[in-house]
Amino acid sequence: MQRFFATIASRSAYFMGHPLAFLISTALCLIWAATGPMFDYSDTWQLVINTGTTVLTFLAVFLIQNSQNRDGSAIQAKLDEILRSIADARSGFIGIENLTDIEIGMIKAALEREVLQEAEGAPDEETPTVDKLLEDRSDLTG
C-alpha cells in the first residue's frame, strides 16, 4: 500500500508542478468564467469552481507533503553517508534532524561562532562548542 501511495504521490506531485498543469488549470478557470452568463452566475455555477478547487487543494496537500517527506528523508540519508565517509567530519551530526528546533539552533549558532573564531583567532570559552553540544546529545541518546 505504501509503495502504491508513494508512486501516486510522486507522479501527482510531478504533474502538479508541470507547466502543462498550470495551463490546464488556467484554461478550466477561463472556461468556467466564460460560462457564467450562460448559467446566470447561479449559486450552482459558483459551487462548481469552489468545490473543485477545494477538493483538489485538499488532496494536493497530502500528496505534496508525502513527496516532500520522502525527499527530505532521502537527502538526510545521503548527507549522513557523506558525513560518515569523510574522515574529518563529525559523526555526531548524523541524525541531528531528530533534535528539537532549539537544539538545532544551538548547534547552528555554535558552528557560526566556530567559523568566526577561526577567522579571528579568539576562542570563546564561555559558550558551548559544537563538539560539546554533540557530545551532550550522544549522552542523552546513547
Residues 103/137, Cβ–Cβ less than 8 Å: yes
pTM check: above 0.85:
no
Residue 76 pLDDT: 92
Report d(CA 130, CA 142) in Å as an integer: 18
Residue 139 pLDDT: 62
C-alpha dist (Å) from residue 117 to 34, 48, 88, 110, 121:
64, 61, 19, 10, 5
Residue 29 pLDDT: 95
pLDDT by position in tens, the chain (length 142): 888 888 888 888 888 889 999 999 999 999 999 999 999 999 999 999 999 999 999 998 988 888 888 899 999 999 999 988 998 888 888 888 888 899 899 999 998 998 888 888 766 667 788 888 888 876 655 5
Residue 141 pLDDT: 56
